[in-house]
Structure 1
């Protein structure tokens, strides 16, 4: 069985622990986009989106590609896309329980 350090695993999961970051991932799940395109999709502000993209890049979920003056962001690879899809599949089964859960602890 693959062994991953628990602290590293938590840092990775941190990338998925924020609504804006998940919205960004969904926005670029199928197509690469510039920050401006992501800002438009999310109706957000550029500074905030850029900060979240930095986190997602740091967690290994997103990569950027420079093209002239623009940077295009995309989900790192098919494994990350599969993970996002699997989260949706699991949530279909447990959505009601998650929605009612009030016992989140840090």
Structure 2
């Protein structure tokens, strides 16, 4: 198995470190959507959503498919979908501890 350095891991995890990015991932977890569809679903603005989509692409979590003038975004693959599901499974177990955590160290 490829050994991944800690900086690469941190860049990957950064994709999950913002509420809007997690909302986008959940929005496209099961089906691809255009920026307009994501903006409408999240009730956000296109510029902000587009910036977060660029981050998610840069982190390797999503891919885009051009169709005419629209780009359709989807979660990269089943492994990323499984990871999102695993987050939910783990969070069910630790949610009480997380709720009590008010110290975040950078």
Do both share a fold (TM > 0.5)?
A: yes
Number of matched residues?
Answer: 106
- For normalisation by structure 1, the TM-score amounts to 0.98
Q: Give 2:6's aligned residue.
A: 6
Q: Give 2:46's aligned residue.
A: 46
Q: Give 2:55's aligned residue.
A: 55
Q: By how many angstroms is 1:2 displaced?
A: 4.6
Runs of 4+ in 1 over 3 A off after TM superposition: none
Q: By how many angstroms is 1:14 displaced?
A: 0.3
User: Could you say what the CA RMSD is over the residues aligned between the two structures, in angstroms?
Assistant: 0.8
1:29 aligns to what SS in structure 2?
Answer: coil
- For normalisation by structure 2, the TM-score amounts to 0.98
Extract unaligned runs of 5+ from structure 1.
none
Q: How far apart, in 1, do the equivalents of 2:20 and 2:83 lie?
A: 17
